[in-house]
Structure 1
């Protein structure tokens, strides 16, 4: 659309004219509000070594790789008048709104405020961290599958530099036809050690929301944002009332090293669907452990319960990072019935969405103050039970396969990923 192209042009122009500094570009003081401008442009490349499913987004082009402009974000921010702050963000690539909200700091304390509008909900350490400083190209399986991102709502936070509690009530996403379902959430964070270059963090979160339209589908790509298929997938779970997710998180920063982990357990309440073989409820889980090393010696900061990424000590040579992450997800809650009549209802008791483990090795280069280059290698180990039914013989199988029937299938691809990023 024209708006998207115009917005992207403005974003790219800002990259060219922005000064070589990581901070936002100050614009003006309007109605006693100090207005500034930020932006983020990311371009990704994925090369797939397929195993079972064809992960190429355009399976007909004969290629084993995909490339895409991933994000083109522009953000206006304002401070003032008084204790008010506001933000207006838009992603021209995805054609959707980002943070669009106003915040009022109570008593002048930055960790004590009320917030109205669209914002990231209080769950997931990785989700709440800045996208431009992601440790790996794709967010973790648990974040992408169970994390609740931006929604319209209201939030209240109380705390100080070492701890905080945030509660929220939220509804749909601001952009039409995206995430729906009203609910509530809460997150508590505590840093018993919070010193320069030495931080120990713990967090606990809980979100509970209406699944909307009584249908829910949980699925995950193999840690590759451009993959054309999700290789673990519950399919549409009907008669789903609400989803509740509890999450735990921990992080340790020691000089140039950072160790981080998160785990989430999700429960879906399903009302009686008239099928005595089918369990009313569904439980799933996911988590990750990651380690990062700043080879050039920089350490992280800590603010509002999330880490902050530093500038390079030597901008000319930049900051180099090495990272390793292990991800796991389990979307199985049921079992196959041996010898049953080959229909979807009789073959499975419960839901068998599959299991997946991935290892990601990555290297990041923050060059000067506005450029970042990332290279990741992902190795996947997954299995999923596929069903062939008389009504739809291969409905559950990937498009490139026409021979496998009612049995568990292993899918173990590997993926090479690259990202180029400009931000200001």
Structure 2
């Protein structure tokens, strides 16, 4: 992809959206029964790879990773949000290249909030943190490949000063991916005994139970978990951890234990996660863990949002912006076997990342990540792939 056209498009969209957002804010329509506000984000990424000779090499590339526009507001006591990702138009300019994200209505009650529609499920801290706020360009391999993401359903969340409890029932279909059939329910609870500015401690537990209808048969997609270990553009470095595509109904249990600490300019985040698959004739399991440590060189801190049990927007305290450096180790392993038999698949993936973030403004950021990944076939005792990558991002949201 050409760099100059994408950069020009990014700047034009940002200026247009910023003007529209200012105009909407100037109207002061918050006291009306019906309101609307424009929002969005643009993430423009690049990646350069150092591939080894095992497997197909990943080509250096650029992409508009996210080009989201949304309208949100209230409608006679109900809240609503309609959000789409237009990044697919860069490859093929047609209607089905636009992907629906949040499309829901909400209602606030004294005991909590009800959400109905399509929304991101309450599962894992890393996935709940907005892509605008995470210290790395990519979420953990477990969050990016196993978490339920955007699904159609209904959810309830109760939030107090030091805890949140949320749950949902949802379909395994989404507005755009209707071929996946099934139903599920999930829950997430968080506790933050300390949640002051510059001093936050987070503990959490996420659970989900999913029932897939005949994956791999009658038009239903197969159930395959294959993370990208060296960034979103590293498709050729993917390895299959489990694959259920024989057309048998498959049950999946997912969990994640969450821990995070923000103390002054230091930030820690870690999760232990897993998923168990069973189609009646074979079973699979995924086990994963990651640990992240970050440091605000310029002295800011990672803000904690008690209403959602996650970390939020960094606000620079200096005119020249905030600088963050971070490191992460991320590992995931998948096994699969027929009932009563030994494993026929045992594959692990690991990733070490070092990142630098420059928050020029609260809504304007530049990111640079260095990644080294390795895939191993544990049964054969061989390395399947080893890839290094340098990835970067220009990011603006409004």
Q: Which bracket does the TM-score occupy, shorter chain normalised? A: 0.7 to 0.9
The one-character-per-residue Cα deviations of 1:377-402 (angstroms, maximum 9, x if unpaired) are 1111221269xxxxxxxxxxxxxxxx
Q: Match for residue 188 of structure 2?
A: 187
1:129-148 to 2 correspondences below 5 Å: 129-148=129-148
1:208-219 to 2 correspondences below 5 Å: 208-214=209-215, 215-219=222-226
1:417 paired to 2:391: yes
Equivalent position to 1:307, from 311, 314, 319: 311
1:25-174 to 2 correspondences below 5 Å: 26=25, 29=29, 32-51=33-52, 52-56=54-58, 64-79=59-74, 81-82=76-77, 84-94=78-88, 95-107=98-110, 112-171=112-171, 172-174=173-175
Residue pair 1:287, 1:329 contacting (<8 A) in 2 also: yes
Q: Distance in 1 between matches of 2:230 and 2:261?
A: 24
The one-character-per-residue Cα deviations of 1:24-43 (angstroms, maximum 9, x if unpaired) are 96375396233211111111
Residue pair 1:26, 1:37 contacting (<8 A) in 2 also: no
1:354 paired to 2:324: no
Which structure 1 segments of 5+ residues have no match? 1-8, 57-63, 273-279, 336-347, 387-405
**Structure 1 position 80, deviation (Å):** 5.3
Q: Match for residue 288 of structure 1?
A: 290
Q: Distance in 2 between matches of 1:302 and 1:33?
A: 30
Which structure 2 segments of 5+ residues have no match? 1-7, 89-97, 216-221
Residue pair 1:381, 1:411 contacting (<8 A) in 2 also: yes
Q: Distance in 2 between matches of 1:331 and 1:325?
A: 20
SS of equivalent to 1:127: helix
Q: Match for residue 250 of structure 1?
A: 259
**Structure 1 position 268, deviation (Å):** 0.4
Q: In 2 relative to 1, CA 48–212 (structure 1 residues): closer, same or farther, beyond 3 Å?
A: farther
Q: In 2 relative to 1, CA 253–179 (structure 1 residues): closer, same or farther, beyond 3 Å?
A: farther
Which has the higher Rg, Structure 1 or Structure 2? 1
Q: In 2 relative to 1, CA 194–409 (structure 1 residues): closer, same or farther, beyond 3 Å?
A: closer
SS of equivalent to 1:375: strand
**Structure 1 position 407, deviation (Å):** 6.9
Residue pair 2:125, 2:258 contacting (<8 A) in 1 also: yes
Equivalent position to 1:326, from 314, 326, 329: 329
1:221-300 to 2 correspondences below 5 Å: 221-234=228-241, 236-237=243-244, 238=246, 239=248, 241-272=250-281, 280-300=282-302
**TM-score w.r.t. length of structure 1:** 0.80
**Structure 1 position 235, deviation (Å):** 5.9
**Structure 1 position 259, deviation (Å):** 0.2
Residue pair 2:314, 2:362 contacting (<8 A) in 1 also: no
Q: Distance in 2 between matches of 1:182 and 1:353?
A: 28
Q: In 2 relative to 1, CA 185–235 (structure 1 residues): closer, same or farther, beyond 3 Å?
A: closer
**TM-score w.r.t. length of structure 2:** 0.84
Q: Distance in 2 between matches of 1:89 and 1:284?
A: 32
Q: Match for residue 368 of structure 2?
A: 375
Residue pair 1:318, 1:368 contacting (<8 A) in 2 also: yes
